[in-house]
Amino acid sequence: MIASFTCETLFDLAGKQTRSQEINELMAAPGFWDDQEKAQDLVSELRRLTLTIKPLAELVSNADDMGVLMEFSEEDDSGESTEELETLSRSLESKLAALELQAMMGRPEDSCNAFVSIQAGEGGTDASDWAAMLLRMYQRWSEDCGYKSEIIEISEAEEAGIRSATIAIRGDYVYGYLKGEIGNHRLIRISPFDAAGRRQTSFAAVDVVPEIEEELEIEINWDQDVREDTYRASGAGGQHVNKTSSAIRLTHEPTGVVVQCQNDRSQHKNRATARKMLQAKLYQIEQEKRDSELAAKRGEKSRIGFGGETIRSYVLHPQQQVKDHRTMHTSSNPTRVLDGDLESFIESYLRWSLQN
């Protein structure tokens, strides 16, 4: 098994390393940037190769170490080599599983950063509170994965929670991991806002778009097709943010897509971020024309409430359960899930999407 794994992995690694070396030689040649489009494509390819070469090399090295430890363990009566072999085996299994997940994400945008938007739906104050809980869940997931997150836009609700928010999560393959979160999320619990202590169902919608790289950008007529509005930031952010019209809202007239950014004191920086978000959404719309499932989630059928398609339910009363209605994957510990433990749901979605 180890020999088979090593041979197959060595073959894959050698091919990727050869291609990486070819690109590096092309980049060092004079006139590489004369053809900007071709150059950007190669730079993007090199980045994706680099993301896989390192873990592949580690797997090959670990597999070699396992072969040596297996020989030692046969002659080691103390059992130390066997214990070390078991530890390395668990580590190798974990790394192999992570690489397998990465291999499932084959679209160019899967390796990108992501903008995650959350919108409160039906359920009144409970829905606003639920939207804030989801925002925290993705922030905690980002933190646990070692990614960086930044609030781009947030609209506070009157009583509790938020009406909407957008955060940027930056790191390798963030979009690939989170694309399965798109859709309606339902919470069932005893409402903390109901004096009678009744059970309440509330909804919030999650949307995820890639922060596209330069080589993936699409053509936009900024002068004719995009309307720009400025406004004062509504959330906390210092006196300068609240007293000047530094927030930016962009509306793409042909599609009706609206994005906004208010996280920075600089109107210029907010405009640049909003443009990135708009490009990402329009790029994703083009991709979804070939993906009816995701298109339906963002279309008119995706009502954020009863009657809309729910991808996941979080039940806190009477039982304790989180269930994904596409993959049928469940967890009996919603507290851990809401604290950002999404790995099992992400993995089950990626495997399910390959089969479907």
CA-CA-CA-CA dihedral for 221, 223, 226, 230, to nearest 10: 150
Both 210 and 266 in a single domain? yes
Amino acid present at 295: A
- State yes or no: pLDDT of 268 exceeds 60: yes
What pairs with residue 114 in β-bridges? 169, 210
Q: What is the DSSP letter of 216?
A: G
Our count of domains for the chain comes to: 2
Confidence (pLDDT) at 142: 97
Give CA separation, 269 vs 218, 225, 232, 317, 327, in Å.
20, 21, 15, 44, 40
Both 215 and 123 in a single domain? yes
Instruction: CATH number of the domain at 15, please.
Output: 1.20.58.410
Q: How many CB atoms lie within 10 A of CB 346?
A: 18
Q: 178-187, 198-207, 303-312 — which is least confidently predicted?
A: 303-312
Tokens, residue 90: 């668990």
Both 154 and 297 in a single domain? yes
Both 121 and 49 in a single domain? no
322-343 burial, b at 16+ Cβ within 10 Å, e below that, comes to bbbebbebebeebeebbebbbe
Question: Rounded to whole angstroms, how far apart are CA atoms 336 and 333?
Answer: 6
pTM for the model:
0.69
**Domain span including residue 94:** 2-103
Instruction: CATH number of the domain at 151, please.
Output: 3.30.70.1660
Both 220 and 339 in a single domain? yes
Which residues have CB under 8 Å from 353's CB, separation 6+?
Answer: 104, 180
Both 312 and 339 in a single domain? yes
Both 36 and 121 in a single domain? no
Confidence (pLDDT) at 4: 43
What pairs with residue 156 in β-bridges? 162
Q: How does pLDDT run across 191-236, given as a tens digit for each residue?
A: 999 888 899 999 999 999 998 765 556 778 888 899 998 887 765 4
Q: What is the DSSP letter of 195?
A: T
Residue ending a domain, among 37, 70, 103, is 103
Both 177 and 276 in a single domain? yes
Tokens 């949307």 sit on residue: 207
Residue ending a domain, among 72, 103, 134, is 103
Both 143 and 191 in a single domain? yes
Confidence (pLDDT) at 294: 57
Give CA separation, 166 vs 150, 277, 329, 343, in Å.
9, 10, 27, 21
Helix (H, G, I), strand (E, B) or coil at 12: helix
Confidence (pLDDT) at 290: 63
The mean pLDDT of 272-282, rounded to a whole number, is 88
Rounded (5°) CA angle 9-15-20: 120
Both 86 and 218 in a single domain? no
Q: Which residue has the higher pLDDT, 228 or 292?
A: 228
Residue ending a domain, among 103, 129, 147, is 103
Both 338 and 203 in a single domain? yes
Q: Which residue has the higher pLDDT, 115 or 75?
A: 115
Both 66 and 151 in a single domain? no
Q: How does pLDDT run across 126-152, given as a tens digit for each residue?
A: 999 999 999 999 999 999 999 999 999
